Chain A
Amino acid sequence: MTREAYHKALKELQNELLKMGEMVAKAIKDSVDALKTRDIDVSMEIIKNDLLINKKRFEIEEKCLLLIATQQPMAIDLRTIAAILSIITDLERMADHAEGIARINVMIGKEPLVKPLIDVPRMADKGLSMLSRCLKAFIDRDADSARTICNEDDEVDKLYEQTYGELVHLMIDNPKVIEGATYLIWVSHNLERIADRVTNIAERVVFMVTGKMEEINVSNY
């Protein structure tokens, strides 16, 4: 085995990506939990910590550029770095959606939610499960798993449609809940977008493994 320092740096880069993935997953999970438990402090914390995620993204980007500039990566290594550069953008945007949910919780403040959260946590769980398996597929270089994950986005889309429908009905029945229901539509829209971003990541995993750019599941939203 030659070029050990280079391959070690490449491996570290992948670990950094996993770390960023964990940070983002935690932000998503906490944002929905805080909404459920009406915990404003946790939401404020998520908003603050988003800066750390942004910082992490820039760190990883810089390391990618450094490896490209100094090591002239080729083939699978080049595709891995290209995939990482794309994935960190998606992760960073996912964290922004989590931050968005946290901000909504702060805006709702002390008001009670207009309906109990049932499908919203389901969307979050589904998105998080997709994300964690997607990052595993990245590490395992598993294109088949990545393709499967893309197709699971439809489940999240269905939950979004269901939530949206219910909330619209609530608003028609009682215009007083329009504001509160709109907040929850925003929340579910953020979660829907999070799952879409996971499919982007999955497409990058497929590209990394096969070298082919495939659009696997086009979202309806």
Chain B
Amino acid sequence: MVTMDTAFRIERLNIFYGEKRALKEVNFNIPAKTVTAVIGPSGCGKSTFIRCLNRMNDLIPVFRLEGKIEYDGMDIYSKEIDVIDIRRQIGMVFQKPNPFPKSIYENVAYGLRIQGIREKKTLDSVVEESLKKAALWDEVKDRLHDSAISLSGGQQQRLCIARALAVEPKVILFDEPCSALDPIATAKIEDLITELKEDYTVVIVTHNMQQAARVSEYTGFFMLGEMVEFDNTQKIFTAPSNKMTEDYITGRFG
């Protein structure tokens, strides 16, 4: 196997919401430019985990983190870190598509505009490039100034991916990106995720184990706030080492 660069190094990560410990002593590395899936039953801490990777939990008042998350060698919870910059580098796509109530074009251009970029030529080319990468360009190129709300759910989700891509992130986090989509829209997003790993590090949280099996190279299984097993996806779904992983993926509990 080719030695992979590490995107995230997670060391003794513990997360608390007030008194409640949501993650316990999580240690593992997320390799760069691959797709890593995080699976586990509801309440296992997988969403908490992925939201730590770009500091999306910061706004929760009772949230507390112990341990360390290093991204590209920097401790992303250190005081010197610019949170806005971290979130630009590490984009996120959520469960429900959340386009802004603006045009398709403005949704994608939004990130650039708030960075102060105004040249129409630049914006046009980034919008086109991002929509192409998100496999949406052909479907919307003739109606870029229509409202994003007029798109179907699957298209809206790809628009959100295009919006994330427009600010040139290095990592894209997907939190259950297909749970509100039909099978065809799901297949499109999955194809897209497979293409994205050429240029981006992708982390995806999913309830759908088949989806994890289809799109990821590595899979981590969380259970009651602990990382039970992390390995090649192929290994996890054909011959996991841990009995709990096996029981979960074969439907013996969960």
Listed in ascending order, the chain A residues whose CB lies under 8 Å from chain B are 1-3, 6-7, 72-79, 210-212
Question: What A residues does B210 contact at CB under 8 A?
Answer: 72
Query: What residue in chain B is nearest A1 (Cβ atoms)?
Result: B252
Looking at the complex, which one of A77, A210, A212 makes contact with B250 (CB distance below 8 Å)? A77
CA distance A79 to B237 in the complex (A): 10
A2 and B254 in contact, given A74-B249, A79-B238 (Cβ under 8 angstroms): yes
CA distance A78 to B238 in the complex (A): 7
Question: What A residues does B209 contact at CB under 8 A?
Answer: 72, 74
The answer to whether B253 and A2 have CB atoms under 8 Å apart is: yes
26 A–B pairs (Cβ distance < 8 Å), ordered by A: A1-B252, A1-B253, A2-B251, A2-B252, A2-B253, A2-B254, A3-B250, A3-B251, A3-B252, A6-B251, A72-B209, A72-B210, A74-B209, A74-B213, A74-B237, A74-B249, A74-B250, A75-B239, A75-B249, A75-B250, A76-B239, A76-B250, A77-B250, A78-B238, A211-B239, A212-B239
Interface size on B, residues (CB 8 A): 15
CA distance A75 to B209 in the complex (A): 12
Query: What residue in chain A is nearest B245 (Cβ atoms)?
Result: A75
6 smallest CB-CB distances across A and B, nearest first, come from: A211-B239, A3-B251, A74-B249, A75-B246, A77-B250, A74-B237
CA distance A76 to B250 in the complex (A): 8
Question: What B residues does A77 contact at CB under 8 A?
Answer: 250
CA distance A74 to B246 in the complex (A): 8
Question: What A residues does B111 contact at CB under 8 A?
Answer: none
CA distance A6 to B250 in the complex (A): 10
CA distance A218 to B217 in the complex (A): 34
The answer to whether B237 and A75 have CB atoms under 8 Å apart is: yes
The answer to whether A73 and B250 have CB atoms under 8 Å apart is: yes
CA distance A1 to B210 in the complex (A): 20
